[in-house]
Amino acid sequence: MPPMPRNDPRQYDDLAGEWWRPGGGFELLHWLAAARASLIPPAVKEGAVLVDAGCGGGLLAPHLAGKGYRHVGVDLRVSGLALAAQRGVTPVRGDVLALPLATGSADVVAAGEILEHVTDLPAAVAELSRVLRPGGLLVLDTVNSGALSRFVTVTLGEWIGVAPIGLHDPALFVDPRRLTAEFASHGVRLEVRGLRPSTAGLFRWLAFGQGAGGRIVPTRSTAVLYQGRGRKEATP
């Protein structure tokens, strides 16, 4: 059987066992989920909805416990949605390019490690902005499109085992200036900052397969990974 093309979402079915395996191939995604959740405050009203676009196996769920949201996870792959449902996520099968959700239905939209996988960035941004209510919060993280990011994430990352082979197509990586402009066109003012894994945690994971204690920390440079937070303009 020929290998799947880069960025083929079917790869996540083959990698389903990695979502929750301690120290496994998706360990870095756990750290990113924790960093993303740190930007999300407790819900301010009963029944508040958080839409987790590209939720995968539901890695955000443990970090939202007690914050008061109904956690709705949208993903293309049933294998990931089944795991997310086991952790209290309301699973919805769908594409971030055409979210099967009502306009303005989300108090918070989380888009973690999904935008570098979409084939139509303007459509994805439009959909994430559409489902977010006026005044609602957007949080995201993604991968820069520059040469350093392509080298670190794909060339080096796949070689040392930080990124599963073939999971990323560097042609889809996202320039933060472009992303900020796209969201601004839909009334979402996005602020970004750089991210990197903690050195000690990364060493333990790569050397010993132990991810405990690893975390994502902010950095000045957005050249590789970056995080965004913004609010949609409130209706006058």
Ordered mean pLDDT values, 10 residues apiece, the chain (236 residues): 80 94 90 97 96 98 97 97 98 98 98 97 98 98 96 88 87 98 98 95 81 86 97 84
Cα(73)–Cα(94) distance, rounded to whole angstroms?
9
DSSP string, 118-173: -S-HHHHHHHHHHHEEEEEEEEEEEE--SHHHHIIIIIIHHHHTSS-TTS--GGG-
pLDDT on residue 172: 97
Q: Is 199 left (phi over 0), alpha (psi -120 to 50) or beta?
A: alpha
Residue whose C-alpha is closest to residue 51's, from 145, 153, 131: 131
User: Number of C-alpha atoms within 13 angstroms, CB side, residue 219?
Assistant: 15
Structure tokens at 77: 């792959």
CB atoms near residue 8 (< 10 Å): 13
Q: Judging by beta carbons within 10 Å of its beta carbon (0-12, 13-18, 19+), is residue 13 exposed, middle or buried?
A: exposed
CB atoms near residue 20 (< 10 Å): 15
Q: Which residues pair with 71 in a beta bridge?
A: 50
Report the predicted TM-score, pTM, of the whole model to 2 decimal places: 0.95
Cα(184)–Cα(202) distance, rounded to whole angstroms?
34
Q: Which residues pair with 67 in a beta bridge?
A: none
pLDDT on residue 208: 78
pLDDT on residue 35: 97
Locate tokens 């082979």: which residue?
165
Instruction: Determine phi and psi for 139, rounding to 5 degrees.
Output: -130, 145
